Structure 1
Amino acid sequence: CNVLISGFEPFGGESVNPALEAVKQLDGTVIQNCTIIAHEMPVVRYESIEEIVKLIEQHDPVIVIAVGQAGGRPDITFERIAINVDDYSIPDNSGQQPEGEPIFEDGPVAYWSSLPIKDMVKRLQNENIPASVSNSAGTFVCNHLMYGILHYLSKNQNNKIGGFVHIPFIPVQTIHNRQPSMELKTIVRGLTF
């Protein structure tokens, strides 16, 4: 069986994205007879969804997890819900900056994550890795991709589970901005729940 995990490219003026750095380290890892397939995602509206749908159809994963950076959060957060709105406070990497637009006109207001988020949080905390449930994935490309994954799975492959995990900055990103951070190796451990 396959597990598809994606990490976003850098965005917003950053030269690194810890989500991408972490998932790259997981590529090819086998956990409980499932192989992790890691891919880079563009921080671009719709292109990110098209890319993940292609990968789902190519690899037929049992689980789809997208990972993104949430600078300022102190722990690994498992997103509970994706909402049907794009409202970007900064442009995406193609320069698009929608304000209050639906992701899919025909889509529901929101989708719940189908990952066992409470169990995942407990598992990480038992390993002494800071983790919590988040009730907002924001309204940028992270929420956009989470919504896109769950929309696709609900319509086409509803036997599969999917969701989104936000991770903190890594220390190199916080030298000048005094934000919380987490060592990359801890993030990688946290993603092998």
Structure 2
Amino acid sequence: MGSEGRPGTVIHVTGFKKFHGVAGNPTETVVGNLREYVGKRGLPNGVTLGSCTVIETAGKGALNALYTLLNSAFPSNEEDPQLLPESSNAERIIWLHLGVNAGATKFAVECRALNEATFLYPDELGWQPQREPIVPEDGDTSHIREASLPVNEIVQALIKKGYDVTASNDAGRFVCNYVYYHSLHHSTKRGSKSLFVHVPLFTKINEEIQMQFVAALLEVLASI
């Protein structure tokens, strides 16, 4: 990885609102404060922080809003939104999704998403699927989509920066996995990149350290 980043890279970041058992989602705070924080810290040349959006902790009921958000990173005058970018000089677009794992004590970069929605409790819009495929056209619930960025390389770079972080092969079956799977599916069609990172509660790793971590993650993503 180089330290200067690639020209034309835009990184969009999402977090989640509250959900069952988590009244205060740390990713809502982190994403809400990220633009001001990065503005003070700075990013490598050629890298831009795009949208910073806090989304509903919901699956099917929030799907249209999710795809509207994902498509917003691309020119609105494209005739076919399913086509890959034709120009190699087009902006490199990265979607960074942040979610909380209330039982975690360290950061986790997710290697994959599973085509299965099995919610232990209803999402914030009342949906509670059981063993439903997230994207039916991909086949049954055993289908996996791998991260479109080099997870192990990212993890090692963050460890070198002093953060307690690991690679994870299980993003759960709740909304985090649901959003990640759709984002990876969308990225395949649109030529963007997608990554999901789970963070702990602020009681395990405080807000300032989490802000530092996400800013460092943006720098790592800019350089791969």
Normalising by the smaller structure, the TM-score range is 0.7 to 0.9
What are the within-5 Å matches in structure 2 for residues 124-143 of structure 1? 124-143=158-177
In structure 1, distance between residues paired with 2:43 and 2:11: 9
Shift of 1:69: 0.4
Write the letter of the residue equivalent to 2:56: P
What are the within-5 Å matches in structure 2 for residues 23-62 of structure 1? 23-27=31-35, 29=38, 31-32=43-44, 33-36=46-49, 37-60=51-74, 62=93
Write the letter of the residue equivalent to 1:157: R
Report the more deviating stretch, 26-35 or 102-111.
26-35
Aligned residue number for residue 190 of structure 2: 157
Write the letter of the residue equivalent to 1:39: T
Aligned identity (percent) is 24
In structure 1, distance between residues paired with 2:53 and 2:201: 19
Structure 2 gaps of 5+ residues are 1-8, 75-91, 218-224
Decide whether the 8 Å contact of 2:16 with 2:55 is kept in 1. yes
Counterpart of 1:2 (choices 7, 10, 24) is 10
Give the direction of change, closer, same or farther, for the CA distance of 1:21–1:75 in structure 2 (3 Å limit): same
Shift of 1:64: 0.4
Counterpart of 1:72 (choices 103, 120, 133) is 103
Give the direction of change, closer, same or farther, for the CA distance of 1:127–1:169 in structure 2 (3 Å limit): same
Residue-by-residue CA offset, 1:50-84 (whole Å, 9 max, x unaligned): 33322232233610011100011111100011000
**TM-score normalised per structure 1:** 0.87
Counterpart of 2:205 (choices 165, 182, 186) is 182
Decide whether the 8 Å contact of 1:114 with 1:162 is kept in 2. yes
Shift of 1:48: 4.1
Shift of 1:31: 2.0
In structure 1, distance between residues paired with 2:213 and 2:169: 19
Aligned residue number for residue 120 of structure 2: 89
Larger Rg: 2
**TM-score normalised per structure 2:** 0.76
Aligned residue number for residue 81 of structure 2: none
Structure 1 gaps of 5+ residues are 172-180
Aligned residue number for residue 202 of structure 2: 170
Aligned residue number for residue 191 of structure 1: 214
Aligned residue number for residue 25 of structure 2: 17
Q: Secondary structure of the equivalent of 2:120? A: coil
Shift of 1:35: 2.3
Decide whether the 8 Å contact of 1:5 with 1:67 is kept in 2. yes
In structure 2, distance between residues paired with 1:47 and 1:96: 8
Shift of 1:47: 4.1
In structure 2, distance between residues paired with 1:95 and 1:54: 21
In structure 2, distance between residues paired with 1:67 and 1:48: 17
Q: Secondary structure of the equivalent of 1:15? A: coil
